[in-house]
Structure 1
Amino acid sequence: MSPAIPVRCLARPLAGGLVVPWVSLIHNGHAVLGARRAFLQRLCQICSQPLQERFFVIVRPADQQQGYSPEPALHPECQPYTAANCPMLNGTATHYRTRPVLASHPAGRPCTDPSCPCPELTPDEGHTARSGRPADRYEAWMIATRHYRLVPHQEKPDVPVGISLNVPILRKRILREAVLPAEHAALLDLLRTALDLEP
């Protein structure tokens, strides 16, 4: 059974009975990302409220290697709800979606409103590299808010690329294991059969 909608999220809009994350902003009828604002203002990516004493970040092995999580933080009560309902985190999605290359605007087309404070598009090479590939292992790491550190873009120091993982970690939770490529899964099945082990 999925966790109840967190109290912090009760004012958020719903889609299909699920909370629409705050970072999924709607711009002229199209979804765009508000990650940069969440990073800079220390906001939860789901409910948009300020982080308090502790927060969670979602971490893949690649994030651990590069030393930062590219996703905005989550409140401790918003993280379990997100993990239970996000297909990539709860294991129902086995592969990353194949995504088209966006145009220069985050909504995938030019904005014609001169007064619009459009969020800047920060190219995510990670999405391109993962497109269509088997899902990675995902963990949730709890960090004290006093250790909240942003990692700047190498060429644009005022643009954050994520939240630093090179800080004390209070707790780690495994959300899902990685999906093995087909050939590896077949070899593992053969090994299990040979050793008469349960899958």
Structure 2
Amino acid sequence: MANVAIPIHLANAPAHNGMVIPYISLRHADGTPELGRVEPARVTECLTGQLCQLCSRRLDGAAVLMARPQDFGHGYVSEPAQHPECAAYAIKACPMLAGRLPRLRDRTRPQRRCCSRADFCWCGLDEPPSVDAIIRSGRAATPWYSVRFHMDEYEVVESARKGLRGISLHALTRRKVRLVSWGNPDVYELGRIVMNGLPLPGGG
């Protein structure tokens, strides 16, 4: 993993292997983060409280979402937004957003455990991987886009059946979209990119 300097405003944030741990990241009982996985309760806290997913401070003024082609198809992003300065750091520090990972992590294999007691940490539970984890595990990395918007257009999407879904992309009428990581899009993702008028990987 490339070393990226931690900015001053995140100097006191918890870190792991030289990288700031996002507030929403799932953590083991010993404090070690499971990067790439999120804590649902903290995601909900950030979405409803309009908090930054990286530093947990309240969002004010401009904010940034990190979105995949499929998110534009769904019309919302399930993860919380970030301050522009936090997003700028994440884009450099996160291996996936920085384009340093050619494939998604394999979530079907046993993950690291910090203990063996199921009542002490979530990692002690022998739960089967979710359907989404099975479908996405090991696939080629998807393109990522940053979506900058103003908080006066912030709108949370909810449904009667599934509850809180994420932050609406349809509500963002003055959004600025930028391609962050090319990835290796499949035909389905390329279709989403074209249909939503997004910048094409490779500049095509």
TM-score, scaled to structure 1:
0.72
Assess, with a 3 A threshold, how the Cα gap between structure 1 residues 132 and 56 changes in structure 2: closer, same or farther: same
What is the alpha-carbon distance in structure 2 between the residues aligned to residue 80 and residue 124 of structure 1? 31
What is the alpha-carbon distance in structure 2 between the residues aligned to residue 127 and residue 72 of structure 1? 20
Shift of 1:124: 7.2
Deviation string for 1:70-99 (max 9, x for gaps)? Answer: 211110000111000111111110111111
Q: Which amino acid aligns with 1:43?
A: L
Q: Which amino acid aligns with 2:19?
A: L
Q: Which residue of 2 aligns with 1:138?
A: 144
Q: Please, which of 46, 50, 53 is the counterpart of residue 61 of structure 2?
A: 53
Q: Which amino acid aligns with 1:28?
A: A
What is the alpha-carbon distance in structure 1 between the residues aligned to residue 134 and residue 153 of structure 2? 30
Q: Which amino acid aligns with 1:164?
A: S
Shift of 1:11: 1.7
Assess, with a 3 A threshold, how the Cα gap between structure 1 residues 128 and 55 changes in structure 2: closer, same or farther: farther
Shift of 1:26: 3.2
Structure 1: gaps (5+ residues): 103-108, 114-122, 182-199
For the residue of structure 1 that corresponds to 2:72, the secondary structure is helix
Q: Please identify, of 124-133 and 77-86, the stretch whose mean Cα deviation from structure 2 is larger.
A: 124-133
Q: Which amino acid aligns with 2:166?
A: G
Q: Decide which structure has the larger Cα Rg and report it.
A: 1
For the residue of structure 2 that corresponds to 1:55, the secondary structure is strand
Assess, with a 3 A threshold, how the Cα gap between structure 1 residues 96 and 25 changes in structure 2: closer, same or farther: closer
Identity of aligned residues (%): 32
Assess, with a 3 A threshold, how the Cα gap between structure 1 residues 40 and 128 changes in structure 2: closer, same or farther: farther
Deviation string for 1:7-35 (max 9, x for gaps)? Answer: 33222111111111111253533645121
| Residues 1:95 and 2:96 aligned together | no
Q: Which residue of 1 aligns with 2:82?
A: 74
Q: How does 1:148-187 map to 2 (within 5 A)?
A: 148-157=154-163, 160-166=164-170, 167-179=172-184
Coordinate RMSD, CA, aligned: 3.0
Total equivalences in the alignment: 166
Shift of 1:137: 0.9
TM-score, scaled to structure 2:
0.70
Assess, with a 3 A threshold, how the Cα gap between structure 1 residues 23 and 171 changes in structure 2: closer, same or farther: same
Shift of 1:42: 0.8
For the residue of structure 1 that corresponds to 2:84, the secondary structure is coil
Shift of 1:164: 0.5
Q: Which amino acid aligns with 1:45?
A: Q
